[in-house]
Structure 1
Amino acid sequence: ARVLNGLPELSDFHFSFNRKSAPGFSDLTIPFEVTVNSMPSTNIHAFIGRNGCGKTTILNGMIGAITNPENNEYFFSENNRLIESRIPKGYFRSLVSVSFSAFDPFTPPKEQPDPAKGTQYFYIGLKNAASNSLKSLGDLRLEFISAFIGCMRVDRKRQLWLEAIKKLSSDENFSNMELISLISKYEELRRNEPQIQVDDDKFTKLFYDNIQKYLLRMSSGHAIVLFTITRLVDVVGEKSLVLFDEPEVHLHPPLLSAFLRTLSDLLDARNGVAIIATHSPVVLQEVPKSCMWKVLRSREAINIIRPDIETFGENLGVLTREVFLLEVTNSGYHHLLSQSVDSELSYETILKNYNGQIGLEGRTVLKAMIMNRDEGKVQ
C-alpha cells in the first residue's frame, strides 16, 4: 500500500555510533534501534543531560562520522545479528544537521547536495558555513523561500508540506497565521509571470517581495519552526539521518510537542531517523524509554544509561526529577541547595533567601529536590 501511494518501503534500523577515546574524551558506543510500525514510533531518538555533559560534542562527532567515513575516531557501525561492522556506503543516503544555537563553536561542513558524490549533507541553522559568521534574518527568509519553492515544485513534497502545516496548526498562534495561503500567493505569481522559471533568482526575489510583510509578522520561534519544517520537507529523502541540537531553544512546550510529532510523521513518510540532543523533559515525554539515553559525565568519562522509568506520555515533573537528580553530587551549588532543602524551607523561601539569584537549571534541581523531600525520599 505504501509503494502504491508513492512512499518508500519502511525498514528496521540497527546501528551504533562509536567514539574511540581521544584526548579529553572516553570510549563511547551508543546503539539505536528503529522498528517498523512500532507504537509509539521509534524513529526519533534522543539523549538528554545537563549543560556541558557532552551532548553537542556527540552530535558533532556523528556529523564527522558521516561526512568523513574514513575517520577511525568517530564512526557508525551496523548490528547485523552477531556481527558488528561499519555501516556500508549509502546506509544513510543523506544527513541533515539542524542547530539554531548561536554559541555552538561547531563550524558546519559545506553542504553536499549531489547524490552521485555519496551521502548528501544539508545544514539547517544560523551558521554560514563559508564564512563561519551568523546568518542575518534576511538570509534565513531567503533560504525559507528557496525551500518553499522546492516543496511546491514536487507534488509529493507539496503534499507533505501541507500535512506538516496542518499538524503544527494544533498550536493556536501557528494556526492563526494561515500559512496555507502562501500556496495561493505562489500560484498567483506563477500565473502573473509565466515567462520566469520558478528556479530563477528573479522569481525568488519577486516571491520574497510578495510575502515579506507576512514573514515580518512572525515571532522568531514560529519563523524558525516554519523555516525548519519547510527545509526538512525539501531535503529529507529516503533513508535520511536527521541530527537536531536542542530544538527547545526557540520553541515553547506545546509547539515543541507538535513539532516532534510532525517530524516523526515526516520521517515515517521518508523512512528516515532523527537523533536529538536536548535538556528538555518535553522531548522525553514524546519518545519511549527504548529511544532515550541519559548522558552522565564525570571529568573525561561519559556514561550513557536508559531512564529508570517509561518516558512516553509521563508527567513533566516526574521526568524533570528523573533527569536532573541524576548527577546531584554533594558539591558546588547542589550542596548549598541541598542544605536549604534539608532546613524544610519552601521553594519560594529558598528563592527569596538567594535574592532570586538561582539560574534556570538550579531552579529545576531545587524543585526536584523539594518534590523528593516532600514525598519522604532520602536525598
Structure 2
Amino acid sequence: MGTGEDRRRYIPIAADRVDQLDENKLSAAIFPDSGVTFFKDSEPIELSSGQRLFAYIVINVVGAIRRNSLILVDEPELFLHPTLEIQFIDMLKQILFRFASKALLATHSVVTVREVPADCVHVFEKGDDELILKKPPFQTFGGDVQRISSYVFGDITVSKPFETWIKKQLSEYDSADDLIAALGDDVNEELIIQIRAMERD
C-alpha cells in the first residue's frame, strides 16, 4: 500500500491471507519501530494511547499463547478506557477458550470484576502476620458496581470526603429535610438517602 518508500511500510494482515505472508519478505520490508498501523477507508488512522495499548496487549497475547497456557496480566485498566476494558476482557475470554487456557489478572477495576463470575474472583487482604484470601459472598458477574467496590476493594471502610461534608452540613442545618431543600437541584437520589441515613446515625 502507498507509493514510493511508503509502499514498503504497510503489509495487510488478514485471516484469509496469513498463510501467504513470507517471513523473509516481511523482515526486509517492515520497520520494526513503526509498530502496527490501522486503516480506515484506506487511510492510516491515529490511535489514542489507550487504543494502542489495547492493540499491543491483544497482539502480544495472541502471538505468545499456546494450548494450556497461563496468561498473567497486571492491572490492564491503568491505560484503558472502561469501554476498552470490557472489550479486552471479552476478547481475552474468547482467546482463552480457543486455546484451552487460563488467565490471572491483578486489578483494582470494578469494571473488570463485574465481567467475571464470583468463583473467579479472589480478594487478597493483609492480616497482622499473613495474607488472607477471600471470595465474594455474592455473584460479581453482571453485579452492582457499588456493591463490588464496597466488598472487593474495601470502599466501605474508607472515610470519604463527601461524608465529611454531609456531617458538617447537617451540623449547620436543623434537619436533613432542611439540608436537602437548601441543595435544591444539586442533590440526587443517592445523596438524599445518604443524608437521611447519616442524620439517623
Which consecutive unaligned segments of at least 5 residues does structure 2 have?
A: 1-8, 171-190
Matches within 5 A, 1:169-248: 197-198=24-25, 200=27, 202-205=28-31, 208=34, 211=37, 214=44, 217-248=46-77
Structure 1, unpaired ranges of 5+: 1-144, 153-157, 163-182, 329-333, 347-369
User: Does the CA contact (< 8 Å) of 2:166 and 2:195 recur in 1?
Assistant: no
* Aligned-CA RMSD value: 4.1
Shift of 1:205: 2.1
* Residue 273, structure 1, aligned to residue 102, structure 2: yes
Match of 1:282 in 2: 111
TM-score by structure 1 length?
Answer: 0.37
- C-alpha displacement at 1:375, in angstroms? 8.5
Q: Distance in 2 between matches of 1:236 and 1:340?
A: 49
Structure 1 residues 282 and 375 mapped into 2: Cα distance closer, same or farther (>3 Å)? Answer: farther
Which of 122, 130, 138 is matched with 1:293 structurally?
122
For residues 50-129 of structure 1, the aligned pairs below 5 Å read none
The secondary structure found in structure 2 opposite 1:311 is: coil
How far the C-alpha of 1:300 sits from its partner, in A, is 4.5
Q: CA deviation at 1:296?
A: 1.2
Pairwise CA distance, 1:340: 1.7
> Looking at CA atoms only, which structure, 1 or 2, has the larger radius of gyration?
2
**1:304: Cα distance to partner?**
1.1
SS of aligned partner of 2:90 = helix
Of 335, 340, 359, which residue of structure 1 is paired with 2:164? 340
For residues 156-191 of structure 1, the C-alpha deviation after alignment (integer angstroms, 9 at most, x for no partner) is xx64xx9xxxxxxxxxxxxxxxxxxxx89xx8xx7x
Query: What is the alpha-carbon distance in structure 2 between the residues aligned to residue 269 and residue 208 of structure 1?
Result: 30
Identity percentage of aligned residues: 21
Aligned residues: 166
- The yes-or-no answer on 1:263 pairing with 2:92 is yes
Aligned AA (1:214):
P
Q: Does 1:320 align with 2:140?
A: no
Structure ranking higher in strand proportion: 1
More helix per residue: 2
Question: Do the aligned partners of residues 315 and 214 (structure 1) sit closer, same or farther apart at CA in structure 2, a change above 3 Å counting?
Answer: same
Task: Tell me the TM-score normalized by structure 2.
Answer: 0.65
